Amino acid sequence: MQRLAAEPRPDWREHVERDLGFVFHTIDGAPYWDETACYRFTAAQVDELEAATGELEQMAMELVDRVVKAGDEAYERLRIPEAARAAIQRSWTVGDRNLYGRFDLRYDGKEPPRLLEYNADTPTAIFEASVVQWDWLEAIQPGRDQFNSIHEKLVAAWRGFGLGHNVVYFASVRGHVEDGGTVEYLRDTAVQGGLATARIDVEDIGWDGQQFLDLDEKPIDVLFKLYPWEWIVGEAFGTHLLSGAARVIEPAWKMVLSNKAALALLWEMAPGHPNLLAASLEPGGVEGAVVRKPIFGREGANVQVIEAGQITAETEGAYGAEGFVYQAHAPLPSFDGNYPVLGSWLVASQPAGIGIREDSTAITRDTSRFIPHFFE
């Protein structure tokens, strides 16, 4: 695994906007999509990443099954409200399909990939990983390969959902450019999968006492929502969604995996596994340096690195009232002061490719940059 300097395409901004519809390549005036560098892997390293991703997903599915069977005690450890538990049980028991997820991995090409967290419910950066970096590969590294079958797997996954003639509504928060771009991309893959689709803002979804409605008062029977389950269950809207009035993607059972308390439960289930880091819900439950993460945290907010009882790094944010998980500190590899996190994508629980975000600090934040990759 190497980080290589690269020459950006002179017209890449105009190209990705015009030809790919990639409009959030720059965020708050700073580059998000970055062509000044790329990462090179060997075929053996890609095989290792793919195998680890598949094994982690198998363990994640086993964890969901165990939690559902264990009931209230396990749900309480995951901070899942009682109101959501029946919906989780129902969606898992009937086998509701999931579309996608992203493992964030610590990897340097030498040691085994290690799971940092699982973005199981509302992961973003899939459009960049799927379409934009493939476009870069064809233009800059023709003849080379990339660990990336995300698009093809998404199209196939939609065909396998068994949704028939139902219209799939795609929803995100109004005005959020990145979420909107992600939803439009996923909607496009559904269209290519042969499904009828519609777009709606979360704020515009109506309820008539029996069913969800769009702005034209047409029923919403299938909903893809880029809106976290842990937010939904705390809102009046969530009571209706948990009732089963619409089929929801991602399914309710993803709540077991979309919080960081699952990291501790995975470690308890498979202690010492080479692709896991020691984790605990109790302070002092992990020896040595630890990273304290809020159970429902996002974008690297409210994270602390604690070494010898002292906080050596910290980020701000609004999370943490729900509690924390303590994970063994595995410092990210540094490539000339750049710290990459590998996002390993799953589509329908199958490994599908990677996207790399890097930051100039050891805690990956919402200011990270997306760097393309290839292998040979």
What's the chain look like in SS3? CEEEECCCCCCHHHHHHHHHCCCCCEECCEECECCCEEEEECHHHHHHHHHHHHHHHHHHHHHHHHHHHHCHHHHHHCCCCHHHHHHHHHHHHCCCCCCEEEEEEECCCCCCCEEEEEECCCCCCHHHHHHHHHHHHHHHCCCCECCECHHHHHHHHHHCCCCCCCEEEEEECCCCHHHHHHHHHHHHHHHHCCCEEEEEEHHHCEECCCCEECCCCCEECEEEECCCHHHHCCCHHHHHHHCCCCEEECCHHHHHCCCCHHHHHHHHHCCCCCCCCCEECCCCCCCCCEEEEECCCCCCCCCEEEECCEEEEECCCCCCCCCEEEEECCCCCCECCEEEEEEEEEECCEEEEEEEEEECCCCCCCCCEEECEEEC
pLDDT of residue 29: 85
- Average pLDDT of the segment spanning 134-153: 97
pLDDT (tens digit per residue) in 151-164: 999 999 999 999 99
Q: Percentage of residues in the chain with pLDDT exceeding 90?
A: 90
Q: Where are the domains of the chain?
A: 2-22+32-259+334-375, 278-328
User: pLDDT-derived band of residue 222, with 50, 70 and 90 as boundaries?
Assistant: very high
Average pLDDT, the chain: 95
What's the token pair of residue 131?
A: 């379409």
Does pTM surpass 0.85? yes
Q: Provide the residue type at 269 as one letter.
A: M
Q: Is the peptide bond before 203 cis (omega within 30 degrees of 0)?
A: no
pLDDT of residue 275 exceeding 70: yes
Q: How far apart are CA 195 and CA 167, in angstroms?
A: 7
Position 55 confidence tier, pLDDT thresholds 50, 70, 90: very high
- pLDDT, residue 267, reads 98
Mean pLDDT score, 11-32? 93
Residue 366 has pLDDT above 70, yes or no: no
* C-beta of residue 371 within 8 angstroms of C-beta of residue 146: no
- Residue 361: pLDDT band with limits 50, 70, 90: confident
pLDDT, tens digit (0-9, with 9 covering 90-100), for 235-266: 888 899 999 999 999 999 999 999 999 999 99
